[in-house]
Amino acid sequence: MNDRLKGLIAAPFTAMQPDGSLSLGLIQQQAMRLAEDGVRGAFICGTTGEGLSLTTEERIQVAERWVKVAPKDLKVIVHVAHNSLGESRQLAAHAQQIGAAAIATVGPTFFRPSSVEQLVDFCAATAEAAPGLPFYYYHIPVMTGIHLPMVEFLRLGSTRIPNLAGIKFTDENLMSYMQCLRFEDGRFNILFGRDEILLAALALGATGMVGSTYNYMAPLYHKVIDAFTAGDLDAARRWQMHAIRIIAIMIRHGGLPANKAIMSLIGMDCGPVRPPLRNLTVKEFESLREDLAQLGFPSQWPLAPGDGQ
C-alpha cells in the first residue's frame, strides 16, 4: 500500500467498435504500446476513457481485460466513480478482486458535495469497498464542478480513509497542487494531470503524472523529464512546447474526440466516442491529420529541440 505511483501514467482511450460497442481485443495492443514507451501505469475508465459513458458491466469488462493483459510493470488504476454510491462500491470491490493496483474516483457530479466533509463521506464509503487497494481522489473541477480545497480534503481524508494514497490532480491551480505535495512533509502521492504544463509541475516537485497524450507522445514527455532532471531547462521548455503545439491542434479540432482520433494515426484505431460527444467527420479528420503533419507528427515525431519553433 505504500508503493507510490511514479513516472508517466497514461489515461487510455476505451477502444470501441464502429457501432459503439466495446473492442476489448485492442486492449492488449494498447497495453504493450504503453509499456514499450516506458509508461508506468494505465488509469482506465477515467475522463479520457469515457468511463461515465459506459455501463457498469462494460466497465467491469474493461477492467478485467486491462488487468489480465497488462505487462507486469504496467500498473492498472481503475476509476470507479459513479453517481450511485452502490455502483461505485461495486466497481471498487471488483477492482480489488481482479488484482488492480489502485482505485480512484471523482465525487458525484449531479448532487454535488458542497463541503469537504460531504466529499470525504462519499469517498470513504467508496474506498471502504476495496480496503486492500490504495485509493486516490480524482480532482478535476472543470468536469465535476466540485471546487473544494484539496489540502483540506487530505487533512480530513487522512483521518477517515485508511487506504487514502493521494490525489490525481487535474487542475491548473498550482498553488493548491503544491500545498498538496507539501502536506505533512509529502505524505501523499499527488499525481499531476495537465499534460500541457507538466514542466511547471516538475519544478514544484512532481514525480508522478497522468495524461491522455501519453498514449501517443510518451517519448516526448520522457525528454521533458530527462532534460529537467539534467538541469537543462532550455531543452525542457522546448520539448514541452512541442507537446503544447500538438495539444493545441487537438483542442482546436474538438478535444477528446480529436484526441481519440489521433490514435488511428499511430496505427491503433480506438474507434468512435460515445454521445453526447461527437465524432469527427471525414473532412474534419483529414484537416486534423494535415495540421499534425505540418509538425511532422507522427512520422517524424518528436523533432529535435529547436525544430519547428
Q: Which residues are catalytic?
A: 138, 168
The SS3 assignment for 307 reads: coil
Give Cα separations from 70 to 6, 162, 303 (angstroms): 17, 27, 30
Alpha helices in 79-197 (DSSP H): 85-98, 116-128, 141-144, 150-160, 174-182
Task: Report the distance separating Cα 78 and Cα 74, nearest Å.
Answer: 13
- The helix (H) or strand (E) run that includes residue 292 is helix 282-293
DSSP H or E segment with residue 51: none
C-alpha cell at 305: 529541440
d(CA 197, CA 189): 19
Grid coordinates of 251:
483542442
CA atoms within 13 A on the CB side of 32: 7
Of all helices (H) and strands (E), which one includes residue 245?
helix 233-252
CA geometry: angle 178, 179, 181, nearest 5 deg: 60
